[in-house]
Amino acid sequence: MNVEQTTIPKKFHDAVLHWQRHNFPDYDLLPQNWEKYFPNEPAFCLCAKMEIGMSNTIEVGDRQGAPRMMKPSEMGEDAAKHLLAIIRAQASTEFGSIQQHEMTLARAPEDEDRFWVLRVMAEELRHGYQMFHMLTSQDWSSVSSQSAEEMIEEILSMRTGSHVLDAFNVDYDSFVDNVVFAAVIDRVGKYQLAMQRVCSYKPFAQSMPPMLREEAFHLAAGVIPLRRWAQRAAQGAELVTMSAIQKSFNKWMPRGLEMFGHEKGGDSNIRFGFKNLKNAEAQSQYYEECRKMIADLNQRYLRARLPKSSPEQAESLAASLIRDRGRHQGISADDLIELPDPRFFRRKGEPAWTMVGTHGEVFDDVDSYVAHLRAVLPEPYLASRDLKQYVGTLREVVAGTITADQASKRMPNLKRVGGVCPCSNSVRWIVEEPVPAGRTA
């Protein structure tokens, strides 16, 4: 592979490992079991990877055709600030997903599922490390009042509840969430990385292909267990049902759609040459891809229920059951998975706070809508702070005490902000090296 590997300065590298010890204690299991689950595959490397041989020419935007930029100072203040925000948000997602996965990792029904997710987590750690390479290898001081140390401290101090994007502020309820998250939320990540391959800032563009190659497996670590669960559900397995999978999809799809940003936005990304699709275009493609994923899961389920059916028959049956809400050989639409309406349970973007149900039905009072949410979301999630906050805010929007826009800006609510490392009340994630004798700090 045409990739150059590098490490970040030791104090930042050590800070990542320090963070890992507290937030990702299962990390050490990976090398111990690598050969068992990933035989003959190259060992995991906590490093930054830069693709070699990418074009030097900007592909989209106002500077299309000009040479790609190599330093933040070449971008102009607005563009550099915009890109810095993208890098910090992306770093937040990488570390955030590890914190979410870790909480329910041990509940994996099978070891293989667990080690697949463990590898995903390790690679997310590497992706966060990659973003730290972006922050530490160049001088951003002209567009940020924070030093690299301060930016990294801030990101490592975030916890579930204080991350930049809502999808990373929601706790997992079970291992079903680990898998559905990989299938749904990592899919958004794939879109972002793919769009950012064109980035006019070359070091960021060079970061994307190696991350995308790893992301391909992350999606498989979601979809393949889901396919197996669908098959087992068809055979009567009780541990992971189609209903449980459906409810997890209902929980994560709205957050995934919101990760693309407001449906009317994305112009700046194009203008600065950072991405090649506007928000709504990318979100629409993503939604259709999720539709295909769910159709595949339904086909896997139906072929296990009806072994004599062909792929075409299973596909056609799933479509007719969902469309007509009928029954066929004891199977109904309720046994299948359905893609929730893109307006369902939204708190950001055009449909935010509109009280649309999973099938597109519109509710006109909060209590009916909350009853619908209770029926279609995972039971443990109903008691979550996230849902409680959503419902409280929705009541305010419907009562007219705040606008939809104000409500959207309230999310996330920056709660549970960490700060210092939990192993000490005084030590932060980055620990300065002792100053050798004879030198001044």
Q: Which residues bind another protein (CB under 8 A)?
A: 1-2, 38, 41, 116, 213, 216-217, 219-224, 227-228, 231, 289, 292-293, 296, 299-300, 303, 307, 311
Q: Please state the closest distance from residue 217 (CB atom) to another protein, in A.
A: 5
CA 304 – CA 308 distance, rounded (Å) = 9
Q: Please state the closest distance from residue 311 (CB atom) to another protein, in A.
A: 4
Nearer to another protein, 52 or 85 (CB): 52
Nearer to another protein, 292 or 374 (CB): 292
CA 238 – CA 429 distance, rounded (Å) = 43
**At 179, which amino acid appears?**
V
Q: Please state the closest distance from residue 178 (CB atom) to another protein, in A.
A: 16
Nearer to another protein, 307 or 438 (CB): 307
Q: Within a 10 A sphere around the Cβ of 374, how many other Cβ atoms?
A: 12
Q: Please state the closest distance from residue 276 (CB atom) to another protein, in A.
A: 13
In contact, 339 and 253? CB cutoff 8 Å:
yes
Nearer to another protein, 5 or 142 (CB): 5
Q: Please state the closest distance from residue 108 (CB atom) to another protein, in A.
A: 15
CA proximity to 430, closest of 141, 47, 6, 10:
10
CA 282 – CA 265 distance, rounded (Å) = 11
For tokens 């299973």, the residue is: 314
CA proximity to 93, closest of 121, 114, 51:
121
Q: Within a 10 A sphere around the Cβ of 7, how many other Cβ atoms?
A: 13
Nearer to another protein, 80 or 188 (CB): 188
Q: How many residues does the chain have?
A: 441
Nearer to another protein, 218 or 346 (CB): 218
Tokens of 114: 């667990």
Q: Please state the closest distance from residue 300 (CB atom) to another protein, in A.
A: 7
Q: Please state the closest distance from residue 312 (CB atom) to another protein, in A.
A: 8
Helix axes 111-136, 29-37, angle to 10 degrees: 120
Nearer to another protein, 115 or 272 (CB): 115
Residue 331, strand partner residues: 328
